[in-house]
Amino acid sequence: MPTIKINHWLLVWSLLLLVGLTACGQAAKPDTTISASSAAQTGSDTSQDTVKNVVETSAAAQAHAPKLGETVASAEDVTTPRTHPGGEYHDVATSDAVSFQPYLTSDTASSGYQGLVWAGGLLRLDEKTLDYIPNMAESYSISEDGLTFIFHLRPDLKWSDGQPLTAHDFEWTYNQAKMPEHSWPYLSQIDFIQSYKALDDNTLEIKIDHIYAPALGQISG
């Protein structure tokens, strides 16, 4: 009988010990789960911080971006210095020019040489104001309907041989450019011109067939 009681108590203690160990094992698991959850939460917080920083940076950049109709200009002076007039200019081309006649050529070499030889257009752009100012024409006027342009040439215009350069020379050049046999590749840029006439030696009349915003620049350049 005492032996049976001892065995009974040993069995009870064994069961209690087993239950205790099992409980301890289960109690230890939540620590691992909590650690993994904390790590995931930390990663999520980091991602959210990154997104927030990107959004804030983008918003700050857009706040300083120019708005519609706003003029953007540098505070510093960007005027080209003109303190050393004169000197020599050397230009090198990798090919020969085809011709000095603008209406016969479209190659880069010819255009480069022509730009060095010809005096420019009737008007030119002021480098500071970007307004059209006199060049070969000393003045000009535009009709109220915007379709007729009158240019009054400078009386001192001359060719390189000293001969007078007149409005008739401008008209002749325009007619050469319009001739189909010359196949001028830029003819489409002046197809809005209706007539091109020299009224006298110093007066040029140009009419266009419709209102065209870039007309003044294209017929006087």
Q: Is the pLDDT of residue 63 over 70?
A: no
Q: Where do the domains of the chain lie?
A: 1-57, 120-220
Which pLDDT value is given to residue 184? 82
- pLDDT tens per residue, range 190-217: 899 999 999 999 999 999 999 999 999 9
Closest CA to 185 of 109, 105, 125: 105
Whole-number average pLDDT of the chain? 78
Cα(37)–Cα(31) distance, rounded to whole angstroms?
10
Which residue's entry shows tokens 């003044």? 216
- pLDDT tens per residue, range 90-145: 877 788 888 888 888 878 888 888 887 876 799 998 888 989 999 999 999 999 99
Q: Is the pLDDT of residue 166 over 90?
A: yes
- pLDDT tens per residue, range 14-31: 555 555 555 555 544 545
What spatial distance separates the first Cα and last Cα of the chain, rounded to whole Å? 128
Which pLDDT value is given to residue 23? 52
Are 150 and 204 within 8 A, CB to CB? Answer: yes
Q: How far is CA 39 from CA 12, 47, 51, 98, in A?
A: 42, 12, 19, 75
Question: pTM value?
Answer: 0.57
Alpha-carbon dihedral sign for residues 86, 92, 95, 96: positive
Mean pLDDT value of segment 80-97: 77
Cα(177)–Cα(154) distance, rounded to whole angstroms?
23
- Best CATH choice for the domain 120-220 from the list 3.30.379.10, 3.90.550.10, 3.90.76.10, 3.40.47.10: 3.90.76.10
Are 215 and 149 within 8 A, CB to CB? Answer: yes
